[in-house]
Structure 1
């Protein structure tokens, strides 16, 4: 029995194990001691203005925190079935998630700022993610399961002062559930099943070991079949006679059929794991040691495995007779990821007015994957003509990172609240990525193929930071912050191998066990050894005031920063910086049962980094970085309205981004968009176009999410709670090229429904759900292929189709 099946067995066993059950409000969080007291739990849930956040690296009430932050409770994560970071998008104004099949990652855009290709060995995003205060540098981490969470905070706008580099557009802070020393043994478990053979189970329980030590154990397993069916090649391939005719007309034939062979339908995948399948498991063991009131140490180890499959790009217009959720596949999907993470936090209360904290983390990640990059768009007319076979294969990727932060801050009532800190982070990464591209089928001639081998790429980052809030009066506060960051990045021995077109070498796709060299037809196209080193300050100035007992206004100017780095051929690209001007308000009404938070912002972005797979004039491929000249400018407004009484909940989440203009970039290219015009020699690109002034992608003019639920009290004491949520988004571009309808997601509405029953003693509950009720086909990215007849065929990644299922949970 392998590990993920053991985790599934443990979770299901816990779900049905005999246990001493206690009554608690269904909305209470299990890790909170008040969850044992229904009245205390109910009071906490109902008073929305009592929700606290750590956006300023200290616990403060959400409604008294002058930062645009969305706080998502564990209850909302559960009811909205938030499994990954991409599921957060409908709950946060201006947040978008984009799937990338070839690397199997999710990239994030916030307030119009993001980068679809943040998937290199450095993988620097514009939206930083943290778990328990520990930075998670890998884009792959965004696809991990959200296991046993205590809540999520999404900080919108640059967070460069307190949270550091790569938080250019914002930061997402995940808080895991912690052990509880004084609450005794308790826990929860659930199982679920749904369409696409979906099954899932999760469990968590608190273990009080002594009056100074406790542990918490959490496990989860989620899986479902792939959404993309395999097309039958026999119904699409030409007859042998047609193949012979096409082969004779090709330059590869030499005018004879001497080397002709018919296309083998067996090379196309027709069974086995499908694309867009999930098979993920995770486990976390947490410990809390608190020997005194002045010291506590939280320590956790987390293990995550992903044995699902990448997500497939689909033809926007399927071939006649083919289903939309299907593709003609000649590369079987493969995904194999393993992650080990240790996180530690120590807090010392030095005295009544000062606290020292030490936060450290370590992560080791390894991954392999295989993806059909040609996505079955072109059907070959012979084994060497028209069709294209392209396999994007990560042979090995290994990423290790360490981080440490120490901060000293004031506590309790002070005229000046202050925090001082130092940060150190280090990454050591390596990867081999192969791209065989063949004419016709995998048995055809080589169109081009390459192997990108980066044996050692390192990142070393240092920072010093400080922030202070001066209480000018009982109602006015002035905040200033400054951070100095220094980054060193180095590529040691990186080589890009390209095809040398040697007629004496057999033309076969490169295999993972073959090292490229001249003897097998390869030549070095680029040497990537280089070093980048630069320092950068970021800062914050903010003024906020109370305008009533239940309202506040704030105005701020803040900056964010993402370092530059090295790229193919050892060239460097510049760091980017964002200056954000923002005015916001926060109000609470009806004794805290309703809150309304708004912000209007203007972003001025310098040297925006765009990266994309490109073709060079000599025919070799690589990953290119470009700095956008001038200023990229974004203007937006966002609003969050929440209402909650005992039996009713209502949320409106609104975002408007009427202005989102890219700066100056005359030569923009991407292999994902074939058919771009030829470029002049000075561009160092084979094909490109001028995208200056184009709209930013993943930034709809208007986005609105509405959520409502009502609890009906039944005669037997149980509760029945229907819940409905819907998201509307206006049309949005899917790339910087702004190429027309194929490069755009039209306006859409996606809706979810659920119905939950909780039994009278809150010992167990049942929930039935339907997500994407209307089965909306929602694009999150786009690309296009140029066909043999010169036409252009667009493909896209899509959000999941309609899914439904039933969950059963217990509290013990």
Structure 2
């Protein structure tokens, strides 16, 4: 097979040097029609930076998926992202904000309707063309689009072409099989139908080395079907389209786990490590829960220690590659979507009236192994001296997610759990330290647009219209682990899965228009304006330990605190819920002047919800009822009276706190927000001014100013006791961009060359960007600017009209302008920067709670000298834990109670603040370029042979705004795609041999940085490996 690869590449490189010419052939570039201004125009007449790829272009360039656009469009970057999403960036701006209520800066349209489909799963098939508009497009294309948009234009039925279509079959490496076909059938003179279908099956690109499961991950098994109808009377055109997508595959939310295990448990993985190991278990949430709270693993044990105790019976293989994994859980990826679109346009005497209606529904369900590892066995401690564990004795049913009204859909209801009916919701039954995450999502999108385009004889013309966009979404994220499940079962913490549920609703309406003023025949001024009104409602429920505790406090379940002196002693007295800690009392307890306040869990819960008076009154009544019952001589009557007293008590208190699984305002309490319902109402205004001047035979010079806007978004609930006041906004503000652009579009050399160039400058105010703090993603506003240049050229030399050359070059310079200091959550000590302070020590939290937040395995920093000064007090409270394998070089412990340090007056924080001012924007290589060559050999007997080669290069970039060279830099990479097409000159049939990523490079498009609790691993998102195959297509 390697020989075939090398032979094919050599053949194509050799062939591309032969510029043989067919006799007297006159071949010029075809005109490209686009709808970048909501009307059909030649690409060269549109004063906007637009790239357009026809169906033939997509096939020749092997652009089969959305990700392939980045190889062909200037300043467009694309990557899959964590949790199964995707990010499209144009000119440095894309999906920088994260959250259900945050809009992308680059939107995807289908036939001019905002689509909302996940581009990660979109299949570009039976396309008429793909249009990419760069720069703000909000005037005509609606809300957002501050960076640009991608418009997918499907093939419509034709009433003139007769019965025609095609069928194709592709086979290739990784057992790739693709069937694609379409047929156009005119039913009457003015009515036609077109049906198209594609189905893809292939093995995964990630090899699973765990033999009991084996196989590959990230495979595909999906189909897309489309039916289109057209009624065309000449003056009136009515189109209807329905497209359906269904997938059941092993597509993964992340394809690899990049980690060099750290000996220092402040991190599970070394900063910048590029190994394919697993995080040090002693630094992870699962490992600390298992060791500190459940005693199912050795305290502070790394992987070697697990092996020594016989718990690591399926060790990770050495020398794994980036495209290999070792996991005992097969990923689940199920997705369905359906899109209806109805358009009608009618020509009037002096214009055209158009209606565009679209509706899309989708649902998805994903689950995968968070750590992509076969974790060690859960152990049972059988001896303290010597320490000994036995693995494999504990078996855990890990249940699917259940939050709010999602219960009973993907996870058990409370009644089902109590009645032993949870079996059908078991994700995995395991005896290992397993970790699973994923999401469930349901969406409904509706769009309506009515517009009028004038066609007047005078110097003025215009477009005016109104549109309405509605979006409704339910999204639920799951995280569960076997130690978490054991903790829930053992301590009556009812939720054994954690995560959040978002219910989101958006209603947006807009009025838009553009005025075209022909100053003279070759000079036009365009003035556009859009006014919009929007409403967003975001209903968020976040699962926390506190929700579970309500059951123990109010349902008669014995209140069992987690076993551990440290937690018992400080959990109640340090203000874990609702109330600020009484420092004076805490100081007396720590110095032995007063007894500690352990065991106050029930009281703190009722204090949290402000129902102490009601509970005390019910308790007093219960005590009185029991006392009275004790005076009754008859045993049966006494038991009845006692039961009545208890029943009265429980009926009195059962509604004082919200039910565990309900969305309820009762969960929105000051100091601890597990529930949040937020609403935003606002208006937006966008517009642009364009001056274009036609000169020469086929050239256009244009200059434009655009104001783009992107609506605000809503952040998750914020605990004000964890984060300093003002650090995190409840919601971001509107993002605005002022964009300036100058461009020239030319047809040169008698139609042999198309040359389009542009220069641009963008100033972003309040650009929306996200970052993770602790384990939650929040969004912020910063300012930035960028400028650059773009060149696109298609050329057919007169000396060799069978040769085609396609060239693209883009340059961009970006700069963040933000004076505020911020914490890098992946490098909280700011190692390797000027902000690093050697006095700071990084600690792993071993408190279940800190200020009402889950704290286990989260990192925090404190002054090491101050901590050393209270060593004796901490040791007396069993809070000084210099466990072997968990200390710094000098024996200073890394496991630490943040509650204890705060109680002793030692300042702690979630990290060191640093400046990002002047840094580059993420996911933005400064240079991208591509060169494509194809040549049509006519070899006789009506046969043509067309070799083609496409080369792409991009310079280095950063994955986030902190621009850390050690962990956040993606090196420059290139990709070579080659093909050889053999077919008849009438293009009725062909065989196309292809090799995508022919040099088999592991090209990185993005890096995901995980949180403290999962060990600070990274996931690299990669372009596909080399895939070589052949496609046969027949047209009829």
Q: How does 1:360-509 map to 2 (within 5 A)?
A: 360-376=357-373, 389-394=434-439, 396-411=440-455, 414-436=458-480, 451-454=498-501, 456-492=503-539, 494-500=540-546, 504=560
State the Cα distance separating 1:328 from its structure 2 match.
2.7
State the Cα distance separating 1:454 from its structure 2 match.
3.5
Distance in 1 between residues matched to 2:911 and 2:111, nearest whole Å: 45
- The DSSP-based 3-state class of the residue aligned with 1:569 is coil
2:229 matched residue in structure 1: 287
- The DSSP-based 3-state class of the residue aligned with 1:89 is helix
Return closer, same or farther for 1:787/1:683 CA change in 2, 3 Å cut-off: closer
State the Cα distance separating 1:323 from its structure 2 match.
2.9
Residues 1:560 and 2:731 are matched in the alignment: no
Q: Is the 8 A contact 2:952 2:976 kept in 1?
A: yes
Distance in 2 between residues matched to 1:674 and 1:806, nearest whole Å: 52
- 1:714-749 Cα deviation digits (max 9, x unpaired): 122200000000101111112222121432211122
Distance in 2 between residues matched to 1:383 and 1:575, nearest whole Å: 52
Residues 1:780 and 2:760 are matched in the alignment: no
- Pick aligned residue for 2:76 from 81, 86, 95: 95
Residues 1:194 and 2:172 are matched in the alignment: yes
Residues 1:650 and 2:647 are matched in the alignment: no
- 1:315-341 Cα deviation digits (max 9, x unpaired): 243343223311232542111110011
Distance in 2 between residues matched to 1:363 and 1:89, nearest whole Å: 26
Distance in 1 between residues matched to 2:166 and 2:437, nearest whole Å: 41
Q: Is the 8 A contact 1:450 1:496 kept in 2?
A: no
Distance in 1 between residues matched to 2:997 and 2:1018, nearest whole Å: 23
Highest CA radius of gyration, 1 or 2? 2
Q: Is the 8 A contact 2:922 2:961 kept in 1?
A: yes
Distance in 2 between residues matched to 1:787 and 1:622, nearest whole Å: 11
Q: TM-score, normalised by structure 2?
A: 0.64
- The DSSP-based 3-state class of the residue aligned with 1:58 is coil
Q: How does 1:489-568 map to 2 (within 5 A)?
A: 489-492=536-539, 494-500=540-546, 504=560, 525-568=673-716
- 1:352-387 Cα deviation digits (max 9, x unpaired): x211000010001111001333344x96597599x9
State the Cα distance separating 1:312 from its structure 2 match.
1.1
- Pick aligned residue for 2:85 from 100, 105, 115: 105
Q: How does 1:154-193 map to 2 (within 5 A)?
A: 154-193=132-171
Distance in 1 between residues matched to 2:945 and 2:954, nearest whole Å: 30
Return closer, same or farther for 1:354/1:228 CA change in 2, 3 Å cut-off: same
State the Cα distance separating 1:202 from its structure 2 match.
0.4
- 1:17-46 Cα deviation digits (max 9, x unpaired): xxxxxxxxxxxxxxxxxxxxxxxxx99x83
Return closer, same or farther for 1:751/1:414 CA change in 2, 3 Å cut-off: farther
- 1:755-794 Cα deviation digits (max 9, x unpaired): 0001254331000000111111111111346899x99754
State the Cα distance separating 1:661 from its structure 2 match.
2.9
1:610 matched residue in structure 2: 769
- Pick aligned residue for 2:95 from 115, 118, 130: 115
State the Cα distance separating 1:414 from its structure 2 match.
4.2
Return closer, same or farther for 1:665/1:781 CA change in 2, 3 Å cut-off: farther
1:230 matched residue in structure 2: 208
- The DSSP-based 3-state class of the residue aligned with 1:402 is strand
The CA RMSD measured in Å over matched residues stands at 3.3
Q: Is the 8 A contact 2:114 2:447 kept in 1?
A: yes
2:613 matched residue in structure 1: none
Distance in 2 between residues matched to 1:656 and 1:403, nearest whole Å: 36
State the Cα distance separating 1:566 from its structure 2 match.
2.1
Residues 1:312 and 2:255 are matched in the alignment: yes
Q: Is the 8 A contact 1:337 1:368 kept in 2?
A: yes
Q: Is the 8 A contact 1:229 1:325 kept in 2?
A: yes
- The DSSP-based 3-state class of the residue aligned with 2:934 is strand
- 1:195-230 Cα deviation digits (max 9, x unpaired): 011100100010100012110000001121111112
- 1:645-666 Cα deviation digits (max 9, x unpaired): 6411111111101333353452
- 1:531-575 Cα deviation digits (max 9, x unpaired): 011101101011111231221211111022111122212832211
2:649 matched residue in structure 1: none
- The DSSP-based 3-state class of the residue aligned with 2:544 is strand
Instruction: Say how many residue pairs are matched.
Output: 706
2:219 matched residue in structure 1: 277
Distance in 2 between residues matched to 1:547 and 1:534, nearest whole Å: 43
Distance in 1 between residues matched to 2:65 and 2:828, nearest whole Å: 28
- The DSSP-based 3-state class of the residue aligned with 1:472 is strand
Q: Is the 8 A contact 1:449 1:498 kept in 2?
A: no
- The DSSP-based 3-state class of the residue aligned with 1:162 is helix
Distance in 1 between residues matched to 2:224 and 2:198, nearest whole Å: 5
2:1021 matched residue in structure 1: 797
For structure 2, list consecutive stretches of 5 or more residues without a partner in the other structure: 1-24, 259-273, 278-317, 381-388, 390-431, 550-558, 564-658, 719-729, 832-841, 843-859, 863-901
Deviates more, 1:88-97 or 1:675-684: 675-684
- The DSSP-based 3-state class of the residue aligned with 2:58 is helix
- Pick aligned residue for 1:128 from 107, 110, 131: 107
Residues 1:701 and 2:926 are matched in the alignment: yes
Distance in 1 between residues matched to 2:803 and 2:682, nearest whole Å: 53
Distance in 2 between residues matched to 1:220 and 1:161, nearest whole Å: 35
Greater fraction of residues in strand: 1
Distance in 2 between residues matched to 1:809 and 1:714, nearest whole Å: 20
- 1:229-259 Cα deviation digits (max 9, x unpaired): 12338xxxxxxxxxxxxxxxxxxxxxxxxxx
- The DSSP-based 3-state class of the residue aligned with 1:46 is coil
- 1:455-503 Cα deviation digits (max 9, x unpaired): 63100001000101111012211111000011100024x3111134868
- 1:511-545 Cα deviation digits (max 9, x unpaired): xxxx9669xxx998521211011101101011111
Deviates more, 1:557-566 or 1:148-157: 557-566
Residues 1:667 and 2:822 are matched in the alignment: yes
State the Cα distance separating 1:505 from its structure 2 match.
8.7
Q: Is the 8 A contact 2:814 2:921 kept in 1?
A: no
Q: Is the 8 A contact 1:632 1:662 kept in 2?
A: yes
Q: Which has the higher contact order (CA 8 A, sep 6+)?
A: 2
- The DSSP-based 3-state class of the residue aligned with 1:591 is helix
State the Cα distance separating 1:442 from its structure 2 match.
8.9
1:343 matched residue in structure 2: 341
Return closer, same or farther for 1:411/1:644 CA change in 2, 3 Å cut-off: farther
Residues 1:64 and 2:64 are matched in the alignment: no
Deviates more, 1:791-800 or 1:569-578: 791-800
Q: Is the 8 A contact 1:389 1:442 kept in 2?
A: no
Return closer, same or farther for 1:388/1:572 CA change in 2, 3 Å cut-off: farther
For structure 1, list consecutive stretches of 5 or more residues without a partner in the other structure: 1-41, 234-265, 508-514, 616-620
Q: Is the 8 A contact 1:112 1:660 kept in 2?
A: no
Q: Is the 8 A contact 2:816 2:918 kept in 1?
A: yes
